[in-house]
Structure 1
Amino acid sequence: MAGEAMSPRRIPRRVVGPAVGAGAVGAAYWFMMSPYSQALGRFPYRGPGDERVVALTFDDGPNEPYTSELADYLDGEDVRATFFQVGRAVERHPEVTRRLASSGHVIGLHGYTHEFTQYLRRRTVADELRRGMGAFAEVGIRPALYRPPWLLRIPALPGLLDEHGLHVVSGEFCHLLEVAQPSPHRIADQALRGAHPGSIIIFHDGWDGKSADRASTVEAVRLLVPRLRAQGYTFTTVDHLLGLPAYQHPADDPTITRLAPADHNR
């Protein structure tokens, strides 16, 4: 009969199959890659409380000249940010990482290769963490913060992070298409609409640890900072926002830079 609801027993398999597949993909995404999922352990995407403070974060660098352009602007505005960097990019631009750390920005680990398949198995994730930490050791830094590439987590990740003394950090994307570089105004407008007290805002100053044009991101940050300040926001780094250490400083390891604590709430 026209308009009659179709009985589940009469739904064609060509309809059921794709629907079930799409549902499974959606569930897997939420479980393993959503900024908000806590299914595989604590994955903080926002700080506590209602104080009007935000943390600006940047993934996938260093990537020149854009990382240095961001640093020039942020330093001039007395804003400290958190940069989750890719090990092989740090190897290409060690002086940029050193400059950021010496200016009071916080450096976190974002893997070594940023290749998707490397983050699906325990063995390859362990290798990414080991090689990534090795790249940072070469510039005298031992991060305590880790953001997975694509926010991808597997069940083995919490145990691996414990072995390396790392704390995992999520966040909220400034704009879902920011990596494709829409106009700076679109990025800044969306980031401003999404900002809340305690927000951890994710930008990208690189692309998968490779070179990429990030001019729109740089300009969007220049637009966003004064607009957030006009709304009463101040800026901090992820470690201060979440009450976590920024770096590991073993007393018996003379190769690790001891960065003096600073007031990051600006």
Structure 2
Amino acid sequence: MAKHSLLLTALGVTAACAAGYTVVPTIYNKRIRRDMVRTIPQQNAVMLTFDDGPDPRYTPALLDLLKKEEVHATFFVVADNARENPAIIKRMQAEGHTVALHALSHRCAWLSSGRYTQYEFAQSVQILASMGVTPRYYRPPWGYTNPHTLPTARRYGMRPILWSVMAEDWSARSTADVITDKLLARVKGGSIICLHDAGENSGGAPGAPTRTIQALARVLPILKGRGYHFVTPQQVQL
């Protein structure tokens, strides 16, 4: 009986420690922390952001669409993907988009020690610096954080940015029509929209970004017709 109680106590302590390292920081940062950016203070503007790229199968087509619509976006890139596609990063910069940091390899912060978290940021910053990028903004994969995530981001001078609108565009069930309907129903003034320009390498469905691009081809003109303009973090001084 005593052994059983000790085992339950040990399991409870382990669970509490795990929650303190993973769930508690994530909930606090996502929902409560005041300096975490979730919206922008302009009711006639929205911020369009993309995670997980660059991906040579999808990102160039997305950039073509943004150029056609004269829309600037923010790309939270995976540094390993950026290293493999430097020409896409250069094109983003040349066309007025903001290149920000998402991760080194899209690893969940819940599985990362403090030492690995510091390594991930150091490596990511080094990779992007080799392309002339000094990231000023950061978005953790899935919005998950541990106690080391945001202090390390700030040490490198990065402001964390989350989102207020998603359209579940990574899902195999999300057709272009579904994504279109969700965006038009959810976007309002001040929204930060989170979409994805990479798929399989970060847990998305095969070909998912193609459907996202198809949806945006319909959505962007409609949002502009509603009077919204698209801004980057620098333009709203985040």
Q: TM-score, normalised by structure 2?
A: 0.82
1:47 aligns with 2:40: yes
- The gaps in structure 2 that reach 5 residues or longer are 1-14
- Asked whether the 8 Å contact 1:113–1:209 carries over to 2, the reply is no
RMSD, aligned α-carbons:
2.4
Could you say which residue in structure 2 is the equivalent of 1:184? 176
Asked whether the 8 Å contact 1:35–1:172 carries over to 2, the reply is no
Are 2:54 and 2:198, in contact at CA under 8 Å, matched by a contact in 1?
Answer: yes
Post-superposition CA distance 1:77-109 (Å, at most 9, x none): 111000000000001111001101111000000
- 1:231 and 2:221 equivalent? no
Tell me the distance in 1 between the aligned counterparts of 2:162 and 2:27: 10
- Where does residue 7 of structure 2 map in the other structure? none
Please give the alpha-carbon distance, in whole angstroms, between the structure 2 residues aligned to 1:99 and 1:189. Answer: 30
Q: 1:30 to 1:172 in 2, by over 3 A?
A: farther
TM-score, reference length from structure 1:
0.74
In 2 relative to 1, CA 98–206 (structure 1 residues): closer, same or farther, beyond 3 Å?
Answer: same
State yes or no: 1:240 paired with 2:231: no
Q: Distance in 2 between matches of 1:138 and 1:156?
A: 25
Determine the structure 1 residue equivalent to 2:147: 155
Cα deviation, 1:115-138, whole Å, max 9, x if unaligned, reads 225754221111111111111012
Q: 1:36 to 1:208 in 2, by over 3 A?
A: farther
Letter in 2 for 1:98: K
The 8 Å contact of residues 109 and 117 in structure 2, kept in 1 or not, is answered as no
Hey, what's the Cα distance between the residues in 1 that align with 2:25 and 2:180? 29
Is the CA contact (8 Å cut-off) linking 1:174 and 1:201 kept in structure 2? yes
* Contact 1:35–1:171 (CA under 8 A) maintained in structure 2: no
- The answer for unaligned runs of 5 or more in structure 1 is 1-20, 245-266
Q: Give the corresponding residue for 1:37.
A: 31
Distance 2:98 2:149 in 1: 22
Query: CA separation in 2, counterparts of 1:195 and 1:30?
Result: 28
1:34 Cα deviation from its structure 2 partner: 8.0
Cα distance in structure 1, aligned partners of 2:131 and 2:232: 21
Classify 1:223/1:30 alpha carbon distance in 2 versus 1 (closer, same or farther; 3 Å): farther
- 1:201 match: 193
Letter in 2 for 1:102: A
* Superimposed CA distance per residue, residues 26-57 of structure 1 (whole angstroms, 9 cap, x where no aligned partner): xx657506884134x621110114x3110110
Equivalents in 2 of 1:37, 1:203: separation in Å?
20
**Which secondary structure state, in structure 2, belongs to the residue aligned with residue 197 of structure 1?**
coil
2:52 is the alignment partner of 1:60? yes
CA distance in structure 2 between the aligned counterparts of 1:136 and 1:208, rounded to whole angstroms: 22
TM superposition shift of 1:219? 0.7
Structure 1 residues 208 and 46, CA gap change in structure 2 (3 angstroms): farther
Q: Per residue, is there more helix in 1 or in 2? A: 2
Question: For residues 75 and 120 of structure 2, what CA distance do their matches in structure 1 show?
Answer: 18
Amino acid at match of 1:126: Q
**Equivalent position of 1:130 in the other structure:** 122
Structure-1 separation of matches of 2:59 and 2:135: 18
In the other structure, the counterpart of 2:92 is 100
1:197 deviation in Å? 1.1
The sequence identity of aligned pairs, in percent, is 27
- For these two proteins, the number of residue pairs brought into alignment is 216
CA distance in structure 1 between the aligned counterparts of 2:221 and 2:78, rounded to whole angstroms: 29
**C-alpha separation between the residues in 1 aligned to 2:57 and 2:36?**
31
